[in-house]
Amino acid sequence: MRTPLIIVLVGMPGSGKSTFGKLLARQLNFVFIDLDEAIEAGENKSIKDIFMDHGEGRFRELETAYLKKVLRSAEGFVLSTGGGTPCFNDNMELINERAVSVYLEVSCEELLKRLSKDQTGKRPMFAGMDNGEIILKLKNIFAQREQYYIKSKIKLSGDDISTELLISELMTFFRN
């Protein structure tokens, strides 16, 4: 039996994991899965409510359980993770065992632009913050998470990453 191709996108909030993941899945004729949406559907509760009702610890347990479940699929797909997913419970090792991990590295300035356009209200961790506070929070989060992101098999840097670039990188990855 052939192992399915699973592509897992990791990176900071606002790096384009969901947007880019949908485009990539469409181009490859793969299913797209957003891990946060899978958790919300499975728990019948928003991520924000899970955090409020049960705390981050419980959310991270659920996140790992859903990640394991999704990665057991017999079909290929593109998965968008939450920004913190790779950083807990050995999730990055799990991702790398089963999938081709892709780190989308985007500058803090571009993240701020995207988060502002995306209405930070949709992202509880930035609610009520001004741009200066958001940049400081982004830099702090990045400092904590970079060590996990850089374990990815493929790293794409820049503020204008394209599906064509990723497909080219995937082809190079498999050739090597």
pLDDT tens by residue, 79-134: 999 999 999 999 999 999 999 999 999 999 899 888 876 655 567 678 788 888 98
- pLDDT for 2 equals 63
User: Hunting for tokens 């949709």 — which residue is that?
Assistant: 122
- Number of structural domains found in the chain: 1
Strand order in the sheet with 100-105: 31-34, 77-80, 6-10, 100-105, 154-157
Compare 4 and 106 and report the one with higher pLDDT: 106
Is the residue at 142 inside a domain? Answer: yes
> Above 90 in pLDDT, residue 67?
yes
CATH number at residue 129: 3.40.50.300
Give the CA-trace dihedral at 10, 77, 23, 67, to 10 degrees: -30
* SS3 state at 106: coil
- pLDDT for 119 equals 56
Is the residue at 1 inside a domain? Answer: no
> Above 80 in pLDDT, residue 3?
no
- Give residue 129's domain range: 6-175
Contact of 10 with 103, CB cutoff 8 Å: yes
